[in-house]
């Protein structure tokens, strides 16, 4: 039996006033072996987001196939105000398929998709926004410049700018950041070419790095509308990120760029002492 009337009847949805949302897909099936530090690293990720991201930016976390213990910990973080939107999927959907559920329901014009093992640095989102402003053709911008992304889905940049002098190989703005990224994926060092040379694009007054990775990237949401409508057949990698995240950004002739200097760290799956220091800054 229904008694009375809900006060939401005929009330209009006012919409979300935010311009930017951060989405973090998460898969931690247990806390042993490869995953023993994973939740600590993920918590550092959301803590750094709260400390460094502009006020009013919602943070969405999609847990797919995580253990019940991890679900409880995530609910705790949400109660602490570190997570705005939390989706707990008991089935392992995979990175791209879980992202599709949140992106489709979001209306912010900019969406950052980041792995849960990234530590964000002060003003990272402002630096990313500056690249979008300075290069209006940009549809995807990463706060982390990475060596040798200049030949990944960037042919339009090459064709349009190679003979104009706008595209040049230069000394990186943050060689230490490049080395930290290399270490985070298991490389012991970068050779001189990888460490001392990177492809840049200039508009005359500012510059950015040509190309971007997809472990941490901010997208114009409209560019992601070019993604396939059917689910990905892969849980991770395969061609999933290329087909659903990379190729759509260039289907409307957009540019894939990165900030000239490093504004976030990829942490990997093992906690290191320097991370404590960075998190306190």
Band the pLDDT of 238: cuts 50, 70, 90.
very low
Is the confidence at residue 96, as pLDDT, over 90? no
Q: What is the mean pLDDT of residues 75-102?
A: 86
Write out the DSSP string of 109-168: SEEEEE-TTEEE-TTHHHHHHHHHHH-TTEEEEESS--TT-TTSS-HHHHHHHTTTT-EE
Domain annotation covers residue 190: yes
Total number of domains constituting the chain: 1
Contacts for 104 with CB less than 8 Å, ≥ 6 apart: none
pLDDT value at residue 198: 92
Q: What is the pLDDT of residues 6-62, one digit of tens each?
A: 565 545 545 567 899 999 999 999 999 999 999 999 999 999 999 999 989 999 999
pLDDT value at residue 227: 63
CATH number of the domain where residue 123 is located: 3.90.550.10
Is the confidence at residue 175, as pLDDT, over 70? yes
Q: Which domain holds residue 54?
A: 20-280
Domain annotation covers residue 51: yes
Q: What is the pLDDT of residues 119-163, one digit of tens each?
A: 999 999 999 999 999 999 999 999 999 887 888 889 999 999 988
What pTM was computed for the model?
0.89
Domain annotation covers residue 9: no
């Amino acid at each position: 039996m229904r008694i009375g009337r809900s006060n939401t009847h005929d009330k209009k949805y006012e919409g979300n006033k935010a311009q930017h949302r951060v989405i973090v897909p998460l898969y931690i099936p247990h806390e042993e072996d490869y995953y023993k530090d994973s939740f600590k690293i993920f918590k550092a990720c959301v803590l750094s987001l709260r400390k460094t991201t502009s006020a009013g930016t919602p943070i969405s976390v999609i847990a797919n196939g995580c253990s019940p213990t991890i679900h409880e910990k995530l609910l705790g973080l949400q109660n602490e105000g570190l997570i705005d939107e939390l989706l707990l999927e008991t089935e392992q959907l995979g990175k791209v398929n879980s992202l599709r559920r949140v992106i489709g329901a979001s209306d912010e014009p900019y969406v950052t998709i980041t792995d849960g093992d990234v530590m964000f640095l002060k003003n990272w989102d402002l630096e990313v926004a500056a690249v979008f402003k300075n290069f209006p053709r940009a549809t995807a911008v990463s706060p982390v410049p990475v060596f040798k992304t200049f030949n990944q889905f960037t042919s339009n940049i090459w064709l349009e700018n190679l003979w104009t002098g706008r595209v040049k190989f230069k000394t990186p703005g943050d060689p230490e950041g490049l080395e930290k990224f290399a270490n985070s994926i298991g490389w012991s060092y970068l050779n001189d070419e990888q460490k001392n040379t990177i492809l840049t694009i200039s508009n005359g007054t500012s510059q950015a790095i040509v190309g971007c990775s997809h472990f941490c990237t901010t997208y114009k949401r409209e560019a992601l509308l070019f993604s396939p409508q059917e689910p990905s057949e892969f849980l991770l990698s395969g061609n999933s990120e290329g087909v659903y995240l990379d190729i759509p950004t260039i289907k409307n002739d957009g540019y894939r760029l990165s900030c000239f200097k490093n504004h976030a760290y990829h942490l990997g799956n093992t906690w290191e002492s320097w991370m404590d220091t960075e998190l306190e800054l």
